[in-house]
Amino acid sequence: MKKVHATATPNIALIKYWGNRNNELRLPAADSLSMTLDRPSLTLSLEESDQFSLTSFLNGEKKDLKPEDQRRFEHMINLSRRYLQNLGYKKPFPRSFSLEIQSAIPPRIGLASSAAVFAAFAKALSTFAEPERALTDAEISVLARFGSGSAARSIFGGFAMMHAGSSDDMASAFASQIANEQHWPLHDIIIAPSHDEKKVGSTEGHALAQTSAHFKERIKQIPRRMKECTDAILKKDFEKLQHMSEEDALDMHHVMETSTPSLQYLTDETHRIIKEIEDLRSTDHLEVLYTVDAGPTVHLICTDAARPTIIDYAKSKQEKGCTVFKTQIGQGAITIHQ
Ligand code: DP6
């Protein structure tokens, strides 16, 4: 039986994806943009099987999975099969699969573990359709999106964007690369104040976005921020990238906090880190920006020149109980055939 392995890593959004126009198909309400990281990574092994099975290990320890975890993978397989049949594939996949995940990414703390999982899954899955025709990366990103919206961006290395599209066609949202990982060697020093898993996951959160009175205004602002951010990346203009991405991150948290029920992902420690970085930046003129996804974890994106100071700062937080991940821009999901 054919067995495939794929590895993938999280990405950190600079313009955030929050809210869908179609939750079932994960068709986003707006474009988003991110940087793919080089670690922590996970490996997913996929084998043809008569019956679906899923086993997952976190740092070598077997995880207890809920029935809905399994359903999410099966849903992705079903949507992917439908999508490929629409593209003209006669028999894209075998009847079912057995999956094993070996991960080093703590889940549900704002570190995009689901982006890495579903990017690796999409990569591995796509190889089963290869005998009829190899999928393009954009098509693989559609498969990844069926599992997790942000996963579409982790298919690509460097900087990637999600094109939201506007129709209800299942293929209308896909990702593409803006610049590869050699273009601008930025770092992401990640400070996780806590490993407590968040109570409301992104999937449930996206479904609440429309309940915020601020959501419509946010959607209006995204095209401008996307343009400015893309421009900043292409010109390696750190200051511009910092302004756009911080504006967007705080704006997303404003939508979250004004949703019903209100979603509060930022903790006192998150606010403390942001304030300390702002202070450090104003005295030392450092090229560092902060951003926060759906969790208390703070991502400090910085240039080579600013990295030593940010590492020293992160060490001081580590001594106070935070977990630190030292990452940099990475290459995106890859498959290993056997
Ligand atoms: C705040 O991609 O995790 O990290 O599609 O339900 O898996 P699902 O949501 P997910 O949402 C990401 C939210 C975010 C912002 C971002 O990564 O763009």
Instruction: Report the nearest-CA residue for atom 7 of ligand 1.
Output: 148
Residue among 122, 158, 151 nearest 37 (CA)? 158
| Closest ligand 1 atom to Cα of 110 | 4
CA-to-CA dists, residue 319 to 104, 197, 250, 315, 324, angstroms: 22, 21, 27, 6, 10
Find the 104 Cα to ligand 1 centroid distance in Å: 19
Q: Range of 9's domain?
A: 3-183
> Cβ(26) to ligand 1 under 6 A?
yes
Question: Looking at the structure, do residues 280 and 313 belong to the same domain, yes or no?
Answer: yes
Q: What would the pLDDT profile of 59-104 be if each residue is shown by its tens digit?
A: 999 999 889 999 999 999 999 999 999 999 999 999 999 999 999 8
> How far is the C-alpha of 312 from the C-alpha of 122, rounded, in Å?
37
Question: Looking at the structure, do residues 105 and 85 belong to the same domain, yes or no?
Answer: yes
Number of independent structural domains in the chain? 2
| Closest ligand 1 atom to Cα of 294 | 1
Place of tokens 């202070």: 279
Residues in Cβ contact with 246 at an 8 Å cutoff, skipping those fewer than 6 apart: 289, 290, 291
Please, what is the average pLDDT of the chain? 95
The SS3 of residue 186 is: coil
Question: Looking at the structure, do residues 261 and 315 belong to the same domain, yes or no?
Answer: yes
Question: Looking at the structure, do residues 104 and 216 belong to the same domain, yes or no?
Answer: no
Question: Looking at the structure, do residues 200 and 288 belong to the same domain, yes or no?
Answer: yes
In whole angstroms, how large is the CA radius of gyration of the chain? 19
**pLDDT at position 284, please?**
83
Find the 251 Cα to ligand 1 centroid distance in Å: 15
**pLDDT at position 338, please?**
60
The verdict on pTM exceeding 0.85 is: yes
Q: Which residues of the chain have pLDDT under 50?
A: none
The share of the chain scoring above pLDDT 90, in percent, equals: 90
**pLDDT at position 198, please?**
72
**Ligand 1: which of 32, 150, 256 to mutate, most ligand atoms within 8 Å of CB?**
150
CATH, residue 290: 3.30.70.890
Find the 60 Cα to ligand 1 centroid distance in Å: 25
**Contact call for residues 265 and 257 (beta carbons, < 8 A):** no
Q: Residue 8: enclosing H or E segment and its boundaries? A: strand 3-8
Find the 17 Cα to ligand 1 centroid distance in Å: 6
Question: Looking at the structure, do residues 112 and 194 belong to the same domain, yes or no?
Answer: no
| Closest ligand 1 atom to Cα of 205 | 6
Residue 308 burial (CB count, 10 A): 10
Question: Looking at the structure, do residues 211 and 156 belong to the same domain, yes or no?
Answer: no
**pLDDT at position 112, please?**
74
